[in-house]
Structure 1
Amino acid sequence: MSKRMIILVIMLILLFTIALQGCSNKKEVVTRSTFMLNTKLDISVWIEDKNRGVEIIQECFKRISEIEEKMSVNIENSEVNKINDHTQKEFISVSKDTSEVLNASLKYAKLSNGAFDPTIGKLVELWGIGKENFRVPKKAEIDEVLRYVDYQLLINNGENKFKLAKDHMRIDLGGIAKGYAGDEVYKIIKKNSVEGAIINLGGNIIALGTKIDGSNWRIGIQDPFEPTGTHIGVVEASDKAIVSSGNYERFSIVNEKRYHHIIDPKTGYPSENGIISATIIANYSMDADALSTAVYVLGVEKGLELIENMENVESIIITKDYKVYLSSGIKGAFEIKNNKFQIVNQD
């Protein structure tokens, strides 16, 4: 064999080896789903090793289960229920997880002037929206229960110990715990050097990193008038949480009237101020979770005012007359796909 032929063979072998390495290092999507936190959870990671991807997702689900065990009001011995069951008595010690979420709840309750309130538990129980025991309470019943809704009576002694200062009060972290779980999942996936993932915890979305081609993720914003998966528009995101609260998520219908699960802590009734969907885009899922509820309850004007006073937080508000209100930082980055909707404050 001539010297030229030998060089050619070596080059072909090298090219073939490189091609094989390229194939073996190709990233593929690994997706797993489960049901926790009273909703369907989907986690997708783009990774070279499929088995490793499955292990990472299972670690995420285990972490979510730990959080649910501590914070769910549907679990008898959860840390939250221990506080609920010892109202006006001694302080109850809780884990760092529960303490962090309770303190964040108090922070956002104060920022929103009570539009978000973690002590809304008795109202949630009274209405039972989306459950078999749902009924429309009488005004006298609502007025009675409102006596036990006041975030200022959730006391923290500064040492991961909490108590409720009035008997019969009840904490419900349904408007924020899922967000905290999302942030914890993000941490797990990030520490495993995954460069691209989509975390979907019942509509609480976290877009981690970028797509394989390096471009940002394109996240659809739910059309509140249409079935799940129908979008009014798209927002690009990388390492952001996108959380929506809407009257389409969980509701009951009586005499053709829709009663949704987002209850105004001040009136005791499902919030009615023209908003039917409030989406928050933020660095952290827990922040976006609490703020989506707060903005929904506050209404367009006060909701936008709250968001404009916060750094690295944006909002997309949809009203029942098909109008869309954007916070200043998202203008130009949100693309309408359905001409039924109109952005009214684009300038």
Structure 2
Amino acid sequence: MKYDVLKTKLQALTLLVIFIFCISACGNSENSEPVTKTNFLLDTVISIEAFGPYASEAIDKAFDRIADIEKKMTVNAESSELIELNKKAGKELCEVSPDTFFVIKKGLQYSRLSKGKFDITVGPLVRLWGIGTDKAHIPALTEIKKALSLIDYTQVKLDESQNAVFLKKAGMALDLGGIAKGYAADESVKVLMQSGVESGLIDLGGNLYAIGTKPDGTPWKIGLQDPFDVRGSIFATVEVADKTLVTSGPYERYFEENGKKYHHILDTNTGFPIENGLMSVTIISDSSIDADALSTVVFSMGLSDGIKFVNGQKNIEAVFVTGDYKVYASSGINKYNFKVTNKRFKMESCIE
């Protein structure tokens, strides 16, 4: 099912962590100016900025890699490896590429870690609500109950020897929307660095990766989008190098019916969008695939459990925004020179 292209472009611009401060000049070398290119892949606007003599060719290679991943893992096309796998649910084992197998395996890891709050078998429920498409609607309770009966990550069998996957129940469907963009970001970084890029920024519709530092040696200063305001309005900043930032929030993709907003982060227990007072969660880590999954995992946990969970992880930090304009952060956030810059927001003490 195709997303509306114009709507998706606008949504991509509203994701947290897309406002990037101006890059400082770095001398008069011929490679001081960045090469920036955009593309539309993975149902979102992608922007890559890179420095170096081979930056242009490197970016093209990165786009090719992302397109390859999309071709394998999308559910919004006529065919893909994931679509074929879902068609064979309850029938037979399906061999997939190493890329798709790796992402599914990683997705199952986070499904177990979150005890199903993040569950890659959520496909039937996602398809039922249709949020992000022109068919978004509130499903009947009977339909939701049926979809929930098909969501169970323990019913996915992996065959490592063949890169094969089996969905044990007919009607099951994997959806990698909560993790595939992170994998694509990580793979893009590999391509750029293998091509000699040591400084750059990748933005896959809000999945941001800062490669190295800016050419002048200073960290990248990233503005965090105000989830209550128009695009480009920020509430805080962080400074990072060789880090990824990924966010989840109800403002990213939703529809309205009878004056109520219904967003895309669905509760795998109730079948309805999660309502826990959070407006956004930003994860900062070394791996974008991890940050992608964790942003949903932590959002689903809620504020208190989410902060406790992040504080128990290595090399992971998080920023939380609640519906009353309060900001909370994990215990190690200050190493990124985190600052709240909008006076409407109030920084709160860390919840223990």
TM-score (norm 1): 0.90
Aligned to 1:262: 265
Cα offsets for 1:271-328 (capped at 9, x unmatched) = 1011110110010100000000111111011211221221111111111111111111
Specify the code of the residue in structure 2 equivalent to 1:341: F
Structure 1, unmatched stretches of 5+, are: 1-21
Could you tell me which residue of structure 2 aligns to residue 297 of structure 1? 300
Partner of 1:16: none
Which entry has the higher C-alpha Rg, 1 or 2?
1
Residue in 2 that maps onto 1:128: 130
Moved more, 97-106 or 326-335: 326-335
Are 1:245 and 2:257 counterparts? no
Counterpart contact for 2:330–2:350, Cα < 8 Å: no
Question: Which position in structure 2 is the counterpart of 1:58?
Answer: 60
Map 1:123-272 onto structure 2 (within 5 A): 123-159=125-161, 160-272=163-275
The alpha-carbon deviation at position 193 of structure 1 amounts to 2.0
Quickly say closer, same or farther: Cα 1:23–1:301, change in 2 above 3 A. closer
Equivalent pair of 1:314/1:327 in contact (CA under 8 Å): yes
Q: Identity of counterpart residues, as a percentage?
A: 45
Q: Secondary structure at the match of 1:328?
A: coil
Contact 1:112 1:306 in 2 (8 A): no
Amino acid at match of 1:212: P
Matched residue, 1:46: 51
Aligned residues: 323
- Extract unaligned runs of 5+ from structure 2: 1-26
Note the C-alpha offset of 1:79: 1.1
Q: Match for residue 344 of structure 2?
A: 340
1:83 aligns with 2:85: yes
Name which of structure 1's ranges 217-226 and 300-309 shifts more when overlaid on structure 2. 300-309
- Counterparts of 1:135 and 1:78, CA distance in 2: 26
The amino acid that maps onto 2:98 is K
| CA shift for structure 1 position 93 | 0.9
> Which moves more between the two structures, 240-249 or 132-141?
132-141
Give the C-alpha shift of residue 120 in structure 1: 0.6
Provide the rounded CA distance (Å) in 1 between the counterparts of 2:180 and 2:67. Answer: 12
TM-score normalised by L of structure 2: 0.89
Asked if 2 retains the 8 angstrom alpha-carbon contact of 1:218 and 1:234, the reply is yes
Instruction: Provide the C-alpha distance between the structure 2 equivalents of 1:99 and 1:309, rounded to a whole number of angstroms.
Output: 28
After superposition, the C-alpha distances for 1:47-78 in whole angstroms (9 at most, x for unaligned) are: 2x3xx322111100000000001100112331
CA distance in 1, matches of 2:140, 2:171: 19
CA 1:212–1:251: 2 relative to 1, 3 Å: same
Per-residue CA deviations over 1:232-254 (Å, capped at 9, x if unaligned) read: 10011100000011111111011
Equivalent position amino acid for 2:234 in 1: H
Richer in helix (by share): 1
Is the contact made by 2:31 and 2:51 (CA closer than 8 Å) also made in structure 1?
no
Deviation at 1:111, TM superposition (A): 0.8
Structure 2 counterpart SS, 1:28: coil
Moved over 2 A (4+): 22-26
Secondary structure in 1 aligned to 2:170?
A: coil
Q: 2:168, 2:349 → 1: CA distance?
A: 43
**CA shift for structure 1 position 346:** 4.8
Aligned equivalents of 1:295 and 1:70: distance in 2? 27
Q: 2-side partners of 1:331 and 1:57: how far apart?
A: 32
* Amino acid paired to 1:246: G
Q: Residues 275, 23 of structure 1: CA spacing in aligned structure 2 closer, same or farther, 3 A cutoff?
A: closer
Distance 2:102 2:309 in 1: 22
More deviation, 290-299/302-311:
302-311
Q: Deviations over 1:106-147 (max 9, x none)?
A: 111111111111011111111011221111112222112100
Higher normalized contact order (CA 8 Å, seq sep 6+, divided by chain length): 2
Q: Distance in 1 between matches of 2:55 and 2:347?
A: 40
Looking at structure 2, the residues matched to 113 and 149 of structure 1 have their Cα atoms a distance apart, in angstroms, of: 12
Match of 1:8? none
TM-align CA RMSD:
1.4
